[in-house]
């Protein structure tokens, strides 16, 4: 575990900017956006230390952070791989073959849904509807939506991500191919 966790100065500046969006005394509203910032900065998950740091930055009690982080599904309370592959499993995607995509990814990566590859590169997760039903099946990795998936597209994606090797976050630049 990393000791003496600290936000980068530019993140602290961003946090101040986010806090200024709300009326005087209502800065707790910044909690959800700041948790996203913390997760992106600290290896894609929120350790108790990271959450305490958020509590400090917003001047609220740690419990107020824990109870929120544990409520919303985008916050990871356990370590995840550099690339979190979130495959939509809800009806419209399921109708267009989401189950087959998950099975194919399990075989390709050699892990089961919910697991992380031994090299820490990929975590495979199924999630509920991501609002991409017209371009199903789909998965999200970082901020990027990968849509109209086929086995070939999935193979290409896995290979590209592996070559790139970088951690994907919700703040990444995105290429919009479908609307």
Partner 1 sequence: MGKKLLLANDHVPGIQSYAVYREKGGYASVEKALKTMTPEAVVEEVKKSGLRGRGGAGFPTGMKWSFLAKPEGVPRYLVCNADESEPGTFKDRYLMSRIPHFLIEGMITSSYALGANTSYIYVRGEYYYVIAILEKAIKEAYAAGWLGKNILGTGYDLDLYVQPGGGAYICGEETALLESLEGKRGNPRIKPPFPAIKGLYGCPTVVNNVETIAAVVPIVNEGGDEYAKIGIGRSTGTKLISASGHINKPGVYEIELGVPVEEFIYSDQYCGGILNNKKLKAVVAGGSSVPILPANLILKTANGEDRLMTYESLSDGGFASGSMLGSGGFIVMDETTSIVKNLWNFARFYHHESCGQCSPCREGTGWMEKVLHKIVHGHGEMKDIDLLWDLQRRIEGNTICPLGDAAAWPVASAIRHFRHEFEEFVREGHSVKDVKHYFEVNNL
Q: Using CB under 8 A, list all residues that contact partner 1.
A: 21, 23, 26, 28-33, 35-36, 60, 64, 67-68, 71-75, 89-92, 94-96, 100, 127-136, 140, 143-145, 170-171, 174, 176, 179
Identify which of residues 2 and 155 has a Cβ nearer to partner 1 in the complex: 155
User: Cβ of residue 3: shortest distance to partner 1, in angstroms?
Assistant: 27
Identify which of residues 64 and 113 has a Cβ nearer to partner 1 in the complex: 64
Q: Give the chain's count of helices (H) and strands (E).
A: 7, 4
Q: Dihedral of CA 31/116/153/150: which sign?
A: negative
Q: What are phi and psi for residue 99, nearest 5 degrees?
A: -60, -40
Identify which of residues 2 and 26 has a Cβ nearer to partner 1 in the complex: 26
User: Cβ of residue 48: shortest distance to partner 1, in angstroms?
Assistant: 18
Closest CA to 168 of 156, 155, 157, 153: 157
Identify which of residues 84 and 158 has a Cβ nearer to partner 1 in the complex: 84
- CB neighbour list of residue 73: distance below 8 Å, 6 or more residues apart: 127, 128
User: Cβ of residue 120: shortest distance to partner 1, in angstroms?
Assistant: 23
Kindly provide the b/e burial profile for residues 110-123, where b requires at least 16 CB atoms within 10 angstroms of the residue's own CB.
Answer: ebeeeebbeeebbb
User: Cβ of residue 30: shortest distance to partner 1, in angstroms?
Assistant: 7
């Amino acid at each position: 575990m990393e000791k003496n966790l600290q936000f980068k100065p530019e993140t602290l500046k961003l946090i101040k900017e986010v806090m200024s969006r709300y009326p005087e005394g209502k800065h707790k509203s910044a909690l959800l956006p700041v948790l996203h910032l913390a997760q992106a900065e600290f290896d894609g998950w929120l350790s108790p230390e990271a959450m305490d740091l958020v509590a400090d930055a917003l001047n609220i009690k740690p419990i107020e952070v824990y109870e929120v982080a544990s409520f919303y599904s985008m916050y990871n309370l356990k370590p995840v791989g550099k690339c979190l592959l979130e495959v939509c499993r809800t009806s419209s995607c399921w109708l267009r073959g989401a189950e087959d995509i998950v099975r194919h990814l399990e075989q390709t990566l050699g892990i089961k849904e919910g697991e992380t590859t031994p090299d820490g590169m990929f975590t495979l997760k199924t999630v509920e509807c991501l609002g991409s039903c017209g371009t199903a099946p789909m998965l999200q990795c970082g901020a990027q939506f990968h849509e109209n998936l086929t086995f070939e597209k999935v193979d290409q994606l896995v290979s590209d991500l592996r070559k790139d090797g970088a951690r994907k976050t919700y703040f990444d630049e995105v290429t919009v191919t479908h609307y």
